[in-house]
A = this chain, B = another copy of it.
Amino acid sequence: MIETRITEMFGIEYPIIQGGLQGLGTSRLVSAVSEAGGLGLITAGSYANKKDMLKDIEKARSLTSKPFGMNAAIGIRRPMDEFIEGAIEAKVPVVFTSGNNPHQYVEQLKNNGIKIVHVVPSVRFAKKAESIGCDAVVVVGYECGGHPGQDDITTMMLTQRAVQELSIPVIAAGGISTGKAALAAFALGAQGIQMGTRFLTSKEVGLHPLVKEQILKLQETDTVLVKKSIRKTARVMKTENALALLALEESGAPLEEIMPFISGDSYQQLIYEGKLDKGVMALGQSIGLVNELKTVNEIFEEIITEYNEQLDFLYGARKSPLKTVF
């Protein structure tokens, strides 16, 4: 596919990184992504405590000898201190942080030889991440599942602007679930891509079969932005529940009325028990391009093949360079 500063930094074959997936970024998916040549991310928010996470990291290591990282969402739900300590104890090579500024962990991680990559929805936050010592950033565009920030800047724009402004490598995320989109991201100057939504339709992810079946049917228009009212805007699957939450928010409902929709409990009922009338699940617009359940390895194969075919096509379709000289 393509060798970049990201493949080099992480010692991986393809610059394809699994997005943090609360409750779902666990050993089976993580090891499958790393085994396929990408970088899986153990998602701290999936575990009750450090001990559970360390146990699952061990399990992931029994499934692959290739590197994988850890993802910590800061300031979203729970304190991350113990999980950062866990990452250090387990000597994972890289920690991806999202949510709040990870400044309190930078020195600690660096002192332990761990790289740190921060996920941001804007150029301003990307520059901040660089300034505090992050080794790379993920920029997430408006179309992404999860948290696209407040500025509504799309992947097309954000990737180019971040590449312009930063010296550290930029990983593009949001709307990328195909080889064509991957090629587009690298055309925009990205050094890597991160995919969350696409892996929700993998055979290895621990999402309930009913939810997998449901999201395979969805169009690009079947997501909705919720949690704006609490300034944690999130793009989620458009269910009746998500629309009810949105209506509540738009009516100015207080946090206690909103909580049942966004509680950890209701989320777990949705993703683990397949209760489609509970919780809200992060989902990007790119779900509209995914119609088939595949193994992680098949997903990699499909994306890399399409990437190569489309690159060959564009290279071949170009007129003689002489014609483009003015």
User: Across the interface, do B305 and A324 meet the contact criterion of CB distance under 8 Å?
Assistant: yes
Given contacts A156-B154, A157-B175, contact A2 B317 (CB under 8 A): yes
User: Across the interface, do A321 and B308 meet the contact criterion of CB distance under 8 Å?
Assistant: yes
User: Across the interface, do A175 and B187 meet the contact criterion of CB distance under 8 Å?
Assistant: no
**How many copies make up the complex?**
2
Distance to closest chain B CB from A98 (angstroms):
20
- Indicate if A243 sits at the interface (CB-CB under 8 A): no
User: Across the interface, do B318 and A157 meet the contact criterion of CB distance under 8 Å?
Assistant: no
Contact of A175 among B154, B164, B297 (CB under 8 A): B154
**Main SS class of interface, A:** helix
- Indicate if A184 sits at the interface (CB-CB under 8 A): yes
Ranked nearest first, the 10 interchain pairs of A and B with the lowest CB-CB distance are A184-B184, A183-B187, A156-B175, A184-B187, A154-B154, A143-B154, A157-B285, A157-B220, A315-B315, A301-B326
A-side interface residues toward B, CB under 8 Å?
Answer: 1-4, 13, 122-123, 141-143, 151-158, 160-161, 164, 174-176, 178, 180-181, 183-189, 219-221, 285-286, 288-289, 297, 300-301, 304-305, 308, 310-311, 314-315, 317-319, 321, 323-324, 326
